[in-house]
Chains A and B, each alone.
Chain A
Amino acid sequence: MDKYNLVIIGAGPAGLVAARAAAALGAKVALIERNLIGGDCLNVGCVPSKAIIRTSRLYADMRDAENFGAQVPISVDVDFPAAMERMRRLRSRISRTDSARRLSAEGVDMYFGSACFAGPNAVAVDKTVLHFRKALIATGARPKTPAIPGLAETGYLTNENVFDLTERPRRMLVIGGGPLGCELAQAFCRLGVQVIIAQDDPMFLPKEERDAAQILSDALARDGVEIHLNAKVVAVRMEGGKKVADLVGDGNEFSIFVDEILTGIGRAPNVGGMNLAAAGVRYDLETGILVNDFLQTTNARIYAAGDVCLMHKFTHTADASARIAVQNALFLGRKRLSALTIPWCTYTDPEIAHVGLYVREAWEKAIPVKTFTILMHDVDRAVTDGEEEGFVKIHVREGTDRILGATVVASHAGEMINGLSLAIGSGIGLRALARVIHSYPTQAQAIKMAADAYNRTRLTPTLKSLAKRWLAW
């Protein structure tokens, strides 16, 4: 049997990108999937969550209609099943792009079943053994399960089954204040669910900067989410047909009665069941498959990409890492993971997006930092849109215009951060950004305003005095 140039395990974002890219370049490619094509992002992640977030934003806007000079009926009744049905319809539509038939047409051999390494250069799918010159592991990650006594017996939701809901729960406890927990807490709250969120940390999104997390906290509270920061769920039980969660916060114990419990405390890499030892691939249950900067595993023929090996578990990172892996595996490439500029975004309202270094990371590297901050309430388009909450913060190396990182908190921060990623990735500084004409009025003009603020700091008293003298004619 002919060897495959590339056997890919996992048809999620990383696997699909790698399969298409390799096939397009003429490689003989096999793609193995044990579940649904599309992976978490399409089926139980970004796509369904963004669909219901959009509906929930609409309901929030309707409730706030008077602030927009509009009239709506006195009461706005949420049609929860319709929102979920729309989500499933859109998910189905997007999934067509990645159907098995289309992949086959693009030259990818699809295999459905569980993959298991049969040696350093062979993998078995059920009883079929595929031999490979190179392989790529892209099995993704799954939700971590909190070790809370009684939780498993009582039953709980994760991102893997929450989108199967068809009826609106009356009360829902969200455990975890990371991106998933915050996004879904706000979305379900806006869809009429009484949401309580418990976060075992002093603030939401603990990796983000304090001011961004504080704005998010205020936004959730304003929407009506009951917030318990520094609160840990210590036990779960059933009582009178309800789920009861016992919490401890700041030394106080209290209980919460809910219909559903949603957990979102992070993701664990899918490294089990593949007989990685047979292939000589080392891994860690917490951090996933060990790779070097070229995404090569401890078996030089086998690479990994996406959530199974990366700290940043995002679809776009999976995509970028898959492209690096294909190039390095098939074309003797020496592309480095560390060279990537990776933005990310939490799709709450307002959204919180970041790229590059945080100030604390710059300090750790002994890089002096100065931050140019523009408030969204000073951006004309944000004002006209009624979306004034948030800021753009651009961190530069002190005394230069070199952008080290940026945080954007704004209604469309996810869109705005891309321009800053381009700037960082291309070495474009604030001086050059100030020269770029931004269309008016847009919310992204906040970035230009930050660049202008930088330019104003270049106007030293000496320069001002010289200019004044020059203009005295």
Chain B
Amino acid sequence: MTEPSAPSDEELLDKFQRAAFGYFLEQFNPDNGLVADTSRTGAPSSIAVVGFALSCYPVGVERGWMARADAAERTLVTLRFFWDSRQSEQPDATGYKGFYYHFLDLKTGKRVWQSELSLIDTTLLLAGVLAASVYFNEDTASENEIRERAHAIYRRVDWQWACGGEATVRQGWKPGSGFLHYGWEGYSEATILYVLGLASPTHPLPENSFMGWTATYQWENIYGYDLLYAGPLFIHHFSQAWIDFVGIRDSFMREKGSDYFENSRRATYVQREYARRNPYGFEGYGKDCWGITANDGPGFKTLKIDGRERRFLGYAARGVPYGTDDGTIGPCAAVGSLPFAPELALSALRHFCARYPEMIQESRLPSGFNPTLPGGGPSGWISEGYFGLDQGLVVLMIENYRSQMIWKLMRRCPYIGSGLRRAGFTGGWVS
């Protein structure tokens, strides 16, 4: 009897991508288009996850997993909800000034958990809205309405207000207390926020806001790699899930002779190198087992394991080599690096499949697992259910690796091009 041959890269990726895509079919509310933040019972909707969902539907159509009419219908329900829902300063509204609250009740669409009016999560929602506006380009009633509503939603956003009188954007706002006090210093996932904010034809960000933000960057040499450092891997992924940064450079990257795509590649290598060195002796870490990012964790607790005190976190931003690390691996983040360092990401995915099969159910990857914290198998603790952000990232990044479809799609979005140019990007496809 012969052993079944290992699936090819293409077969493997297709299987995982389709499984991740399934999340958005399962967690979709047909009444308002909202998608649950996680698959856990009672989870609210996250507007960022809706943004990923809107971007995934075109992938589903092109891959033959969904009819175009079905995708258009889902998209339209979603856009109608976001255009028609209440925008006001009231604490139970859906949004204000064109932005939306981070978490919404899956059924009613009203703000929950006293969440903040989130600028970055609204941005990820808008990225999906704009992806839909470009993809659904046929002259039909529903696709015409998609384009019309998408542009209206984008144009309503008041980016100028979001600066709160400062040179750069604030992180968020809450009714009653106003803008959040959090600093947003250093490289982060906000590049796409500035691009969309600068491109707004109605209430654009000030021209110098992007430069103001990049002035807080640090160009570092770590483990022999020169890069714009950020600890959590998702920071190197989120903007690039939509925007193709290959060969285009802003003023900072021109000075450094690099670009953001190359930067994400180096960041992936730094993650792998950290896991290989494994300075804190976490179980499982190695050259094919990495992916330290913002994700679900075992919960906030301190335990003594094998004579060593280990402090675990719940959902938290983990980052290496000098951020917070509790031994929790985000397998979706490793897959998210596929376009930048496919040789590393594919090895990691195959390793996860071979070493931690119990962590993967029906080809879907959990938000996190932690082999250091003993569980039912080699994976140790495994995050319950699935998170929409992770599944969305897997769908988009596998697609960008396979066909560059989302990147090509967004190149056709006029706001992306103009926002990049206003941010000072030149070269490659923006010239």
User: Hey, which bits of chain A sit against chain B, CB under 8 A?
Assistant: 64, 66-67, 200-203, 209-211, 214-215, 218, 222, 230, 248, 250-252, 359-360, 363-364, 368-373, 375, 377-378, 383, 388, 390-391, 393, 398, 453-454, 456-457
Contacts and interface: CB of A to CB of B under 8 A. Distances in A.
B226 A370 contact: yes
A250 B215 contact: no
Decide if the interface of chain B is mainly helix, strand, loop or mixed. Answer: loop
B308 A202 contact: no
B199 to A, nearest CB: 25
Nearest to A363: B215
B221 A372 contact: yes
A369 B183 contact: no
Contacts of A383: 279
Given A369-B219, A370-B226, A230 B180 contact: yes
Contacts of B222: 373, 375
B310 to A, nearest CB: 11
A210 B220 contact: no
Contacts of A457: 221, 226
A398 to B, nearest CB: 8
B176 A251 contact: yes
A180 B322 CA distance: 24
Contact of A230 (B182, B217, B311): B182
Contacts of A210: 183, 185-186
Contact of B311 (A67, A203, A222, A393): A222
A222 B220 CA distance: 27
A397 B103 CA distance: 44
Given A64-B309, A373-B221, A230 B279 contact: no
A66 B307 contact: yes
B182 A67 contact: no
A360 B216 contact: yes
Contact of B279 (A209, A360, A375): A375
A210 B186 CA distance: 8
Interface string B219-238: 11110101001010000000
Contacts of A390: 322
Given A210-B186, A250-B180, A378-B277, A368 B255 contact: yes
A83 B309 CA distance: 26
A375 B325 CA distance: 14
Nearest to A457: B221
A9 B395 CA distance: 71
B321 A375 contact: yes
A409 B187 CA distance: 20
Given A230-B180, A375-B279, A250 B174 contact: yes
Given A201-B181, A202-B182, A248-B177, A67 B216 contact: no
A210 B220 CA distance: 14
Contacts of A201: 181, 183
Given A211-B322, A377-B280, A393 B216 contact: no
A373 B320 CA distance: 13
A214 B174 contact: no
B404 interface: no
Interface string B302-320: 0010011101000000000
Contacts of A209: 218
A215 B309 CA distance: 18
B220 A371 contact: yes
A202 B172 CA distance: 13
B216 A251 contact: no
A66 B220 CA distance: 35
Interface string B266-279: 00000000000101
21 contacts: A201-B181, A203-B183, A210-B183, A211-B186, A211-B231, A211-B322, A248-B177, A364-B215, A370-B221, A373-B222, A373-B229, A373-B322, A375-B279, A377-B279, A377-B321, A378-B279, A383-B279, A391-B322, A398-B219, A453-B224, A457-B221
